Amino acid sequence: MNDRVGSPKAWGGRFAMSPDKRVEALNASVKFDIRLVREDIRGSIAHVRMLGRQEIVSGDEAARIETGLWDVLAEVDRDEFRLTVADEDVHTGVERRLRASIGDVTGKLHTGRSRNDQVANDFRMWTKRALVEIGNGLIGFADALVDSAAAHPDAAMPGYTHLQRAQPVLLGHHLLAYVEMSIRDLDRVRDAHRRTDVLVLGSGALAGTSFPLDRESVATDLGFSRVSANSLDAVADRDFALDTLFACATIAVHFSRLSEELILWSSGEFRFIELSDAFSTGSSIMPQKKNADIAELGRGKSGRVFGDLMALLTTLKGLPLAYNKDMQEDKEGVFDAVDTVLALLDVLPPMVASTRFNIERMAEAAIADFALATDAADLLAKHGVPFREAHGVVGRLVGTCLAEGRTFADLLEEEWAEVHPVFGKQRPPLDALASVSLRDIRGGTAPNRVRDAIAEARPALDEQRRWFETEAAGFDALFVRP
Ligand code: ARG
């Protein structure tokens, strides 16, 4: 006898045999798609309300099913709802639970719907919410960087190319570089959100449905801005998940680069910063050690996020239209990438905020290794010397100084004059602040330009904040029982 008789399995009567026990574990997605349970229930509520409005089911049936679904949601919120592996997936599990409380009328809920459009819709709702959380976190991260930049208005440090000291920059300018990355990341997150924000319910298993569904009203009920245009694409499309993973991967690259700088800067070789004890760890054997483990995780966690992106690209590659079970593999990577980015967003802002900068040491390093040589060459060029020639003059001067173990600051006035007559009249800048002040151009590192950049970043972040907060509030409101 078939042990599935009377079971709530979504695929019902045509099977003479229950699935092999070994199949169940591989096939079931309950372990992870439980995370879609609230979206699944809310999606069903919108669907059944519409079925009632369209008189596809009676008003009374729709109302009973809706009430039952809100009750299941309340159970979820009390943390009392459980799936079992026999449920196969969250969609079947919710229906099983609903049937246990309201009985056979439950069977009408799935009219004009398939798990294929259902799961894609649930996942889109979940992803929209996740993107909004990431956006809010990114704003907090950018705020911490802007605050730190504003707190060190005149602090100079070496700017690097090839990790060799190149030209002095302001610490604020360096920190604001990461703010720019964050603002682009926010745009990417919103872009991913825009493409995720499409209702796919109404696509059925693949071909649409013969029931007169009112898709627009379901979209409005669930807070979707648009309705999908092609049913085959709608159930097969996971681009929104790829977009989300790519946004997460790019965020992770940026975190990794900043983290690497914090690790370098906290080393004895640099001594530019002191990480707070609260964001460092010790060694079990070397009593003197203070390790930048948290920043190392900020660097290292990127690997798994890239892996999540690569895994889904690989899963989707070559899949024929429309839905294939391969696509069940879409969720865990997105959950992992989102969890990872959110975990880092929890920690990086306070780590940045609590980092103490060793301003004197940074300023000293800013002008070491002839980092002011470009300014000397620029000065000659401003007096009509072709830049290539000026480059040669100053290059030879650097060579002489290196051979004699001297720096620009050690040169006497007459020695400058011997290098070039222009230097007889005017010496190039010999301190970092004078040097950075010369780069007074939009996007440059002069103190007034960095002040302007801070003044521009704050309202740009405020605009982002308003958008993400409005989205979050709208989403929360969907789950309030009327
Ligand atoms: N658990 C499935 C998934 O995540 C739900 C859709 C199942 N559809 C199907 N035709 N087997 O993709």
**Hey, which residues does 159 pair with through a beta bridge?**
167
Q: What is the pLDDT of residue 4?
A: 46
**Rounded distance from Cα 29 to ligand 1 centre (Å):** 8
Whether the predicted pLDDT of 179 surpasses 80 = yes
Whether the predicted pLDDT of 20 surpasses 90 = no
**Rounded distance from Cα 471 to ligand 1 centre (Å):** 28
Q: Which of 22-31, 179-188, 209-218, 337-346 has the lowest mean pLDDT?
A: 22-31
User: Residue whose CA is closest, atom 4 of ligand 1?
Assistant: 328
- Report the pocket of ligand 1 as residue ranges, CB < 6 Å: 29, 33, 89, 115-116, 119, 323, 325, 327-328
User: Residue whose CA is closest, atom 10 of ligand 1?
Assistant: 116
Confidence of residue 14 (pLDDT cuts 50, 70, 90): confident
Domains of the chain by start residue, with CATH: 18-111 (1.10.275.10), 116-211+226-364+451-478 (1.20.200.10), 373-428 (1.10.40.30)
Neighbours of 69 (CB within 10 A): 29
Closest CA to 140 of 172, 185, 170, 174: 185
Closest CA to 292 of 268, 311, 314: 268
Pair 97, 8: CB distance under 8 Å: no
Q: What is the pLDDT of residue 341?
A: 98
Whether the predicted pLDDT of 344 surpasses 80 = yes
* % of the chain at pLDDT higher than 70: 98
Confidence of residue 18 (pLDDT cuts 50, 70, 90): confident
Three-state secondary structure call for residue 161: strand
Q: Which of 17-26, 101-110, 118-127, 347-356 has the lowest mean pLDDT?
A: 17-26
Radius of gyration from C-alpha coordinates of the chain: 30
Whether the predicted pLDDT of 215 surpasses 50 = yes
- Give the mean pLDDT of 70-84: 97
Average pLDDT, the chain: 95
Residue of 36, 325, 329, 332 to mutate, ligand 1, most atoms within 8 A of C-beta: 325
Question: Which residues are annotated as catalytic?
Answer: 162, 283
Whether the predicted pLDDT of 272 surpasses 70 = yes
Whether the predicted pLDDT of 384 surpasses 60 = yes
Each residue's pLDDT tens digit, 106-122 = 999 999 999 999 999 99
Residue of 24, 34, 92, 116 to mutate, ligand 1, most atoms within 8 A of C-beta: 116
Neighbours of 297 (CB within 10 A): 17
Q: What is the pLDDT of residue 2?
A: 42
**Hey, which residues does 291 pair with through a beta bridge?**
281
Q: Say how many residues make up the chain.
A: 482
Whether the predicted pLDDT of 233 surpasses 70 = yes
Q: What is the pLDDT of residue 285?
A: 85
* % of the chain at pLDDT higher than 90: 92
- Give the mean pLDDT of 215-231: 98
Q: What is the pLDDT of residue 8?
A: 43
Cα 405 from Cα 369, distance rounded (Å): 11
Looking at this protein, which amino acid is placed at residue 354?
A: S
**Rounded distance from Cα 121 to ligand 1 centre (Å):** 12
The strand pair at 156-161 and 164-170 is best described as: antiparallel
Q: What is the pLDDT of residue 9?
A: 60
Whether the predicted pLDDT of 5 surpasses 50 = no
Pair 238, 330: CB distance under 8 Å: yes
Pair 216, 225: CB distance under 8 Å: no
- Give the mean pLDDT of 304-316: 98
**Rounded distance from Cα 66 to ligand 1 centre (Å):** 23
- Give the mean pLDDT of 238-254: 98
Each residue's pLDDT tens digit, 144-169 = 999 999 999 999 999 999 999 999 99
Whether the predicted pLDDT of 7 surpasses 50 = no
- The string over 198-224, giving b where at least 16 C-beta atoms fall within 10 Å of a residue's C-beta and e elsewhere, is bbbbbbbebebbeeebbbeebbebbbb
Confidence of residue 290 (pLDDT cuts 50, 70, 90): confident
Q: Indicate which atom in ligand 1 lies nearest the CA of residue 331.
A: 4
Whether the predicted pLDDT of 57 surpasses 80 = yes
